[in-house]
Amino acid sequence: MIDAVRWVIILEALALAFMPLTCWLLRSLPDRGYGAAKIAGLLAVTYVSWLIGSVIPIASSGVLPYAVLLVGGAVGWWLALDETISSLRDAGRVIALEEVLFLTTFIAWSLLRAYVIHPGITHTEQPMDMALLNASIHASSYPAYDPWMSGHTINYYYLGYLMYGMLAKLSGVAPTVAFNLALSTIPALVVSATYGVAYALTRRLWWAVLAPVFVAVIGNWHAAFVQLPAGETPEKTFWWFWPSTRVIGGLCPQQCSTITEFPYFSFLLGDLHAHVMALPEALLCITIGCGFLFSTDRLEPRWNPLTAGRIACAAVAVGALFAINSWDFPIYLLLLAGCVGAHAYLADDSPTWWRAPLAIAAILSVASVAAFTPFYLNYRSVAKGIGFVNTPSDFWQFAQVLGFFVLLAAIFVAVLGVLLQPADAVEDEEEMTPRAAATEAGQIQAWTSSNIATIAIVAAIVLLSIRLNLEVLVVLLGVGAGALLLLYRVLNTPEPNRSDAVALLLIAAGCLAAAVPEVVYLKDVFQGGTDYRMNTVFKFDYQAWLLLGLAASYSAYRAWEVLRAYFSTQLGWVVLGVTAAVVLAGGVYTWDAPHSTAQAGTANSLDALASLKIDNPGDYGMVRWLIAHAPAKTVELEAIGSATHGDEFQAQFGRIAGFTGLSAVMGWEGHEYQWRGSDPEIGTRVADVGTIYTTSNPQTAATLLRKYGVRYVVVGQTERTVYGQSSKGLAKFGSFMRVAYHITYPASGPAGAPTTQTDTIYTW
């Protein structure tokens, strides 16, 4: 566990080094932004190192990020020593609690990964994640080289892998350990950052705990409402934890496939994916948005150090989301713009109050793109445009995914709407003149007629939505629009509650994120099939979980507080009951899911190689030898994961490049098509690799190997299974190459008889 200790020390150093920046940027928050300080520090070091590495090829060593860390920390503390110490002293109690939450979550997930969840690279897209992480660590310039298509650079949003690669270099942790430590770090960062935002909104130490519970601890409600009532239990059902992420099918003759992940599932599954790595950065953007709205300083588009610094930091934070997971970028840019606009409305009473936030939003938009110019210059999107959805989500299925969060948000909007109704002066009826009484009666009659008309319109909309199967869209638009309308009322109260304003913006953004895939979808590689909107639902509903989960935790607190103080204690308890139901129903998944993961941990280690040693000693030996002897980025040849033959998502393909940081001629064919579109070179390489392994002509094989600059040829169990129909085909390598390494280990022969097997690495 010494690796975990070194890793945490670096994270604490990142937070400490950039604490002056955080305290200055987020001084309006009660914790001075400490909940997101580690995220900000990691982003700062990664961003500067990435900029330098995009121009000068000096990024492969740990010297560059160390220099950025030391210089950035020294400058910040030199400029703001006294102010930072004073800020930390004032916020000491909440900072201590956030640190406890971070460390507790990190330790808990590290232990789970080592002793309960299999720590190996064994399933789904873990091999891809390992390959991209390793390439980010070993790359000398950016974008990093493609580990699954030699001679090319990564055409994917890769900044998240680079961030955790930076942590690996700073801490000196091996990539195969860093993979699992990153999976422990992300939930820890999410828990501490959500707590920081929730405390800023509630100013209640214990109520704020509800936010990380909603966002990072509980699951959705499919398990409690569908799986268990149907008799499905973790003990009986293989991968019982999986169906909760495939809930929304859509209304069509054939079930339309979508993905409905949520953070707890992602942490449990163990894919170090872009959408998972974007969670801390999204929370950093939310924290910065809170800092904008809670600030009492005026923001002006003209030059001044405070405004320029805040816009620059916000631009890097939100701009990074495109390079980590591009789907998140638009929603959080809108959210930041909304926070800036709400702040300007409160700070400026003039009729032209809107000019400054509009200019700042425009500057922020341009700056967030300009800050990542090297990424955009090298990234080529394979999206084919926008299409309209013809299979909207089933209401009951959607309710299992996000329904309770939307319900709590709706309760909050309704309660706050009633509380902030304009108060009319009510005169004593006995003192009213006949004329006044008649006027009052007329107003009551008009009010009643208006309400009847409103109810009739709402009823008509509901009936029409049911008829057109648009209930989900109508509910989301209704709650989101209600939040925006109520935001206007909140901002116009004599003493505006800025926490309410933030929560209403979160609700509006969350409803927008969930509503997008009900109307449009991004045309990608899945276009034309029943899973045509799979990625769109996946990526936008994942954002909605974070936004609405955070908003729902505040909604529960605020509705309870308002109802108890202004209406009825009993109604307050009803809200607490709904909140408890949310936690208990989602907690069913939390409790049962770890018992149904891929397989029990056998290595009791955070090193993925320890599991490989047990599962496949031949691959383990070859990987260890290549790590020790082969220069990084060297081209190697191994079996291809072919989409045509159903070999995608199989851990035995692309495993050498993934574990070593070398570059394969071809890794997973289907994923390269996802990244590069219909590039004909992919098909050519697939055919050439097959020829190299199967031909019995040494000259043909040697010519093709030189074509791709291959230095090492791997012949292991996977290669024999895929290409070993002819023993002459694999034996030919020994006629023109030398054996660089071989390993003999026990295996099972025909009918299970014990035998031995030899895996070999050939080189020139």
**From residue 375, how far is each of 159, 284, 694 by CA, in Å?**
9, 21, 39
The pLDDT-based confidence of 726 (bands split at 50, 70, 90) is low
> Do residues 510 and 407 lie in contact, with contact meaning Cβ atoms separated by under 8 Å?
no
**Concatenated DSSP letters for 390-417?**
SSPPPHHHHIIIIIHHHHHHHHHHHHHH
**Concatenated DSSP letters for 348-359?**
--STTTTHHHHH
> Do residues 301 and 285 lie in contact, with contact meaning Cβ atoms separated by under 8 Å?
no
Tokens read off for 631? 């220069």
* Residue (of 118, 246, 242, 240) closest to 183 by Cα position: 118
* Residue (of 108, 115, 196) closest to 611 by Cα position: 115
* Residue (of 177, 152, 147) closest to 165 by Cα position: 177
For position 256, what pLDDT does the model report?
A: 65
Q: Report the pLDDT averaged over residues 512-516.
A: 96
For residue 516, with 0-12 CB atoms within 10 Å meaning exposed, 13-18 middle and 19 or more buried, which class applies? buried
Give the range among 222-226, 314-318, 446-450 with minimum mean pLDDT. Answer: 446-450
CB neighbours (10 Å) of residue 376?
A: 14
Give the range among 197-211, 495-509, 632-646 with minimum mean pLDDT. Answer: 632-646
Q: Report the pLDDT averaged over residues 540-560.
A: 97
Top-confidence residue, 499 or 454: 499
Give percent of the chain above pLDDT 90: 72
Query: φ, ψ for residue 180 (rounded to 5)?
Result: -75, -35
What is the SS3 assignment for 36? helix
568: pLDDT strictly greater than 90: no
The pLDDT-based confidence of 461 (bands split at 50, 70, 90) is low
The rounded distance, in Å, linking the Cα atoms of 12 and 299 is 31
The rounded distance, in Å, linking the Cα atoms of 239 and 540 is 25
> Do residues 134 and 147 lie in contact, with contact meaning Cβ atoms separated by under 8 Å?
yes
What is the SS3 assignment for 318? helix
The rounded distance, in Å, linking the Cα atoms of 739 and 246 is 47
121: pLDDT strictly greater than 80: yes
pLDDT of 363-384, one tens digit each? 999 999 999 999 999 999 888 8
Return the amino acid letter for 71.
Answer: V
Residue-averaged pLDDT of the chain:
89
Beta strands in 443-594 (DSSP E): 520-522
333: pLDDT strictly greater than 60: yes
pLDDT of 462-500, one tens digit each? 666 665 578 899 999 999 999 999 999 999 999 999 999
Which residue, chain included where needed, has tokens 């008889």?
Answer: 753
b/e map 378-413, b = 16+ CB within 10 Å: ebeeeeeeeeebebbbbbebbbbbbbbbbbbbbbbb
Q: Report the pLDDT averaged over residues 22-33.
A: 93
pLDDT of 616-627, one tens digit each? 999 999 999 999
Q: What distance lies between CA 433 and its chain's CA centroid?
A: 65
For position 425, what pLDDT does the model report?
A: 38
Which residue, chain included where needed, has tokens 């697939």?
Answer: 686
Q: What distance lies between CA 217 and its chain's CA centroid?
A: 15
> Do residues 248 and 260 lie in contact, with contact meaning Cβ atoms separated by under 8 Å?
yes
> Do residues 98 and 144 lie in contact, with contact meaning Cβ atoms separated by under 8 Å?
no
N residues, the chain: 764
For position 427, what pLDDT does the model report?
A: 41
> Do residues 129 and 668 lie in contact, with contact meaning Cβ atoms separated by under 8 Å?
no
> Do residues 544 and 263 lie in contact, with contact meaning Cβ atoms separated by under 8 Å?
no
Tokens read off for 290? 């809170």
Top-confidence residue, 1 or 72: 72
For position 602, what pLDDT does the model report?
A: 61
Return the amino acid letter for 496.
Answer: P
Q: Report the pLDDT averaged over residues 660-666.
A: 95
For position 449, what pLDDT does the model report?
A: 54
> Do residues 607 and 176 lie in contact, with contact meaning Cβ atoms separated by under 8 Å?
yes
CA angle 43, 47, 52 (to 5 degrees): 155
Cα-Cα-Cα-Cα dihedral sign, residues 127, 133, 136, 137: negative
Q: Report the pLDDT averaged over residues 718-736.
A: 86
Give the range among 133-142, 249-258, 571-580, 653-662 with minimum mean pLDDT. Answer: 249-258
The pLDDT-based confidence of 455 (bands split at 50, 70, 90) is low
pLDDT of 336-354, one tens digit each? 999 999 999 999 888 999 9
For position 705, what pLDDT does the model report?
A: 97
Q: Report the pLDDT averaged over residues 178-205.
A: 97
The rounded distance, in Å, linking the Cα atoms of 369 and 751 is 61
431: pLDDT strictly greater than 90: no
For residue 252, with 0-12 CB atoms within 10 Å meaning exposed, 13-18 middle and 19 or more buried, which class applies? exposed
> Do residues 514 and 541 lie in contact, with contact meaning Cβ atoms separated by under 8 Å?
yes
445: pLDDT strictly greater than 70: no
Give the range among 113-127, 130-144, 662-676 with minimum mean pLDDT. Answer: 113-127
For position 517, what pLDDT does the model report?
A: 94
Give the range among 42-51, 402-411, 528-537 with minimum mean pLDDT. Answer: 528-537
Give percent of the chain above pLDDT 70: 90
Strand partners, 522: 386
| Start-to-end C-alpha separation, the chain | 39
Q: Report the pLDDT averaged over residues 320-329.
A: 96
pLDDT of 383-401, one tens digit each? 889 999 988 899 999 999 9
Which residue, chain included where needed, has tokens 């910065």?
Answer: 288
452: pLDDT strictly greater than 90: no
Q: How many CA atoms lie within 13 A of 172 on its CB side?
A: 5
Strand partners, 741: 761
pLDDT of 55-65, one tens digit each? 999 888 889 99
560: pLDDT strictly greater than 50: yes
429: pLDDT strictly greater than 50: no
* Residue (of 508, 511, 507) closest to 541 by Cα position: 511
90: pLDDT strictly greater than 60: yes
For position 440, what pLDDT does the model report?
A: 43
3-state percent breakdown (helix, strand, coil) of the chain, nearest 5: 65, 5, 30
The pLDDT-based confidence of 439 (bands split at 50, 70, 90) is very low
* Residue (of 196, 181, 166) closest to 100 by Cα position: 196
pLDDT of 593-605, one tens digit each? 888 754 555 678 8
For position 433, what pLDDT does the model report?
A: 47
> Do residues 589 and 596 lie in contact, with contact meaning Cβ atoms separated by under 8 Å?
no
